[in-house]
């Protein structure tokens, strides 16, 4: 028998590759064939990839939840659920589910932030070192650091946007989708490093962070959701070659340079604690190395800026669009100010005592959950039983927040509507349950958002202080605003007009 010709080698290789592709596709389809979902998703990544890429992820997840029930197959190996008990069980501190490889899609540099530690024991050790700082127990000064940035936000709005007194004064459109993110990035850089990036002062995205994130978000979603692409793009070699670098002149690279420099100074300087800076006040003291701290701080800018901005701008916009809610909140604020229950600026503790403000914030978070990406956890090797379906080991299970937050069974027949009153009308037990369910937007248990307390503090204080200083109206109601759901939200043209308020 002679040696095979090149054509024969190519033909055999092609046959083997096609055979492998068909066998693995059939095998993948077969494993989870009993779980309902779109047909395309059962054997390919086209459905999930298109959802994140197209900007329609929120609508598509909500639709499949309504159509197929609590457990839906959205990829060959991916399942999502809108059952709150299942989400809590999977993420609880007792659960043996690790994080799935989806989280590798947030590795921007060599080394891991807490978010990309997939294995529970390693992750929990890291979380223990950062928990005192993030929770605010050792960093009570964070509240006044947030106050500083609220004052800067108010200064910017007054300087650039507020119509001057007079019936025919010029209106300068205030785009909430541009200004609010500047505020949250300044807050997070200030509390992480002790120095804000300065977006509010300059009234622009000085590090071009949002501009770059918005530009890559559609593709980033596909990369994170499709395992074989993710493995290539987020391999060590690709991160080293194509990831952000401290020599970049904008975006993550520039932020990395600024972060590394500030953290280095904090580690080189004295060991005096500082109760308004996470890195110095807490992380360093609890044993995070300088490199770990640099990675954690950089991740914080991604985790804590866009998400909190999204919550604030959507809550404010829906509130402005709902005069009954807007007026009721203003009335509650006025009473609190007049009766001396609201300092200037309001403290987080005082804000928590205002029931309508709490209802508005919960409703804002519910109506458009900030992060709708997969956040999948991996079923342990023995498999699991989820809502009556056996799910084999290795399957990725994530929350279906769009469907959960719009559940009529959990939030009432008018769940599609922004109506904060739902939280006040309910009896205590139902209200607590509704709030627990909305809280799932921050994850749960072992993996729960480390910055949740900081986010609530920012939201409470900022909404109150903005409405104390200003009144807002939608610039042109027939236009509304544009939004795209790529795991996180990209908003454009959220134009409002601001005037001085008489609540002061």
Return residues touching ligand HEM (CB under 6 A): 91, 114-115, 127, 188, 300, 303-304, 307-308, 311, 370-371, 375, 441-443, 447, 449-451, 454-455
* Joined tokens for residue 344: 């200037």
**Is 15 annotated to bind ligand?**
no
Report, in Å, the least distance between residue 447 CB and ligand HEM: 4
- Whether residue 169 contacts residue 305, with contact meaning beta carbons closer than 8 Å, is answered with no
Q: Which is nearer to ligand HEM, 218 or 443 (by Cβ)? A: 443
Residue nearest to ligand HEM (CB): 451
Closest CA to 465 of 114, 20, 151, 39: 151
The tokens 């033909």 sit on which residue?
Answer: 11
Report, in Å, the least distance between residue 458 CB and ligand HEM: 7
Q: Which is nearer to ligand HEM, 405 or 455 (by Cβ)? A: 455
Distance CA 172, CA 361 (A): 27
Q: Provide the terminal-to-terminal Cα distance of the chain, rounded to the nearest Å.
A: 95
Report, in Å, the least distance between residue 298 CB and ligand HEM: 11
Report, in Å, the least distance between residue 308 CB and ligand HEM: 4
Q: Which is nearer to ligand HEM, 102 or 495 (by Cβ)? A: 102
Report, in Å, the least distance between residue 375 CB and ligand HEM: 5
Q: Which is nearer to ligand HEM, 188 or 224 (by Cβ)? A: 188
Where are any strands of DSSP class E within 329-449?
Answer: 377-378, 384-386, 389-391, 396-399
Report, in Å, the least distance between residue 205 CB and ligand HEM: 18
Report, in Å, the least distance between residue 307 CB and ligand HEM: 3
Do strands 396-399 and 78-81 pair parallel, antiparallel, or not at all (unpaired)?
parallel
The distance of Cα 103 from the centroid of its chain, to the nearest Å, equals 13
Distance CA 426, CA 204 (A): 43
Q: Which is nearer to ligand HEM, 146 or 320 (by Cβ)? A: 146
Q: Which is nearer to ligand HEM, 71 or 113 (by Cβ)? A: 113
Distance CA 357, CA 83 (A): 27
Closest CA to 65 of 44, 86, 46, 49: 86
Q: Which is nearer to ligand HEM, 80 or 311 (by Cβ)? A: 311
Please enumerate in sequence order all residues whose Cβ is within 8 A of that of 109, keeping only pairs 6 or more positions apart, or say none. Answer: 239, 243, 244, 256, 295, 298
Where are any strands of DSSP class E within 311-460?
Answer: 377-378, 384-386, 389-391, 396-399
Q: Which is nearer to ligand HEM, 458 or 465 (by Cβ)? A: 458
Distance CA 323, CA 290 (A): 50
Report, in Å, the least distance between residue 44 CB and ligand HEM: 26
Q: What is the DSSP letter of 31?
A: H
Phi, psi of 73 (to 5 degrees): -85, 120
**Is the omega angle on the peptide bond into residue 345 within 30 degrees of 0, that is, cis?**
yes
Distance CA 30, CA 132 (A): 46
Q: Which is nearer to ligand HEM, 30 or 122 (by Cβ)? A: 122
Distance CA 481, CA 485 (A): 13
Report, in Å, the least distance between residue 472 CB and ligand HEM: 20
* Joined tokens for residue 94: 């007792």
Residues pairing with 486 in the sheet: 488
Angle formed at CA 317 by CA 375 and CA 374, multiple of 5 degrees:
10
Residues pairing with 79 in the sheet: 73, 397
Report, in Å, the least distance between residue 97 CB and ligand HEM: 10
Q: Which is nearer to ligand HEM, 371 or 434 (by Cβ)? A: 371
Distance CA 371, CA 486 (A): 9
Residue positions forming the annotated binding site for heme: 449
Residue positions forming the annotated binding site: 449
């Amino acid at each position: 028998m002679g040696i095979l010709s090149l054509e024969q080698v190519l033909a055999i290789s092609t046959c083997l590759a096609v055979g492998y592709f068909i066998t693995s596709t059939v095998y993948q389809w077969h494993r989870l064939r009993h779980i309902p979902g779109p047909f395309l998703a059962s054997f390919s990544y086209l459905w999930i990839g298109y959802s994140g890429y197209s900007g329609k992820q929120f609508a598509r997840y909500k639709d499949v939840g309504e159509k197929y029930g609590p457990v839906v197959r959205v990829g060959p190996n991916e399942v999502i659920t809108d059952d709150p008990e299942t989400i809590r069980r999977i993420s609880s501190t007792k659960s043996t589910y690790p994080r799935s490889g989806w989280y590798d899609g947030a590795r921007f540099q060599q080394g891991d932030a807490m978010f990309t530690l997939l294995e529970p024991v390693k992750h929990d050790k890291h979380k223990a070192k950062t928990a005192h700082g993030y929770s605010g127990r050792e960093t009570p000064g964070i509240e006044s650091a947030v106050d500083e940035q609220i004052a800067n936000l108010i200064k910017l709005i007054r300087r650039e946007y507020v119509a001057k007194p007079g019936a025919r004064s010029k209106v300068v459109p205030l785009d909430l989708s541009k200004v609010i993110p500047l505020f949250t990035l300044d807050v997070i850089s200030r509390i992480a490093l002790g120095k804000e990036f300065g977006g509010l002062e300059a009234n622009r995205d000085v590090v071009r962070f949002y501009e770059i994130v918005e530009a890559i978000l559609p593709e980033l979603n596909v990369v994170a959701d499709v395992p074989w692409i993710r493995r290539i793009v987020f391999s060590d070699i690709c991160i080293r070659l194509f990831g952000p670098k401290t020599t970049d002149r904008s975006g993550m690279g520039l932020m990395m340079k600024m972060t590394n420099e500030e953290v280095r100074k904090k580690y080189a300087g004295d060991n005096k604690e500082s109760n308004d800076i996470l890195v110095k006040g807490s992380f360093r003291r609890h044993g995070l190395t300088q490199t770990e701290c640099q990675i954690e701080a950089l991740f914080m800018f991604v985790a804590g800026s866009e998400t909190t901005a999204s919550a604030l701008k959507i809550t404010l916009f829906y509130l402005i669009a709902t005069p009954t809610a807007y007026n009721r909140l203003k009335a509650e604020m006025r009473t609190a100010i007049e009766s001396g229950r609201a300092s200037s600026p309001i403290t987080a503790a005082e804000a928590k005592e205002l029931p309508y403000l709490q209802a508005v914030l919960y409703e804002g978070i519910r109506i458009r959950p900030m992060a709708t990406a997969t956040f999948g956890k991996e079923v342990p090797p023995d498999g699991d039983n989820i809502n009556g379906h056996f799910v084999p080991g290795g399957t990725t299970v994530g929350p279906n927040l769009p469907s959960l937050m719009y559940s009529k069974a959990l939030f009432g027949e008018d769940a599609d509507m922004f109506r904060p009153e739902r939280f006040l009308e309910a009896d205590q037990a139902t209200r607590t349950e509704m709030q627990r369910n909305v809280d799932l937007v921050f994850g749960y248990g072992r993996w729960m958002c480390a910055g949740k307390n900081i986010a609530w503090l920012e939201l409470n204080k900022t909404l109150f202080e903005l409405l104390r200083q200003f009144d807002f109206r939608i610039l042109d109601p027939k236009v509304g605003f544009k939004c795209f759901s790529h795991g996180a939200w990209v908003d454009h043209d959220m134009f409002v007009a601001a005037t001085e308020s008489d609540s002061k």
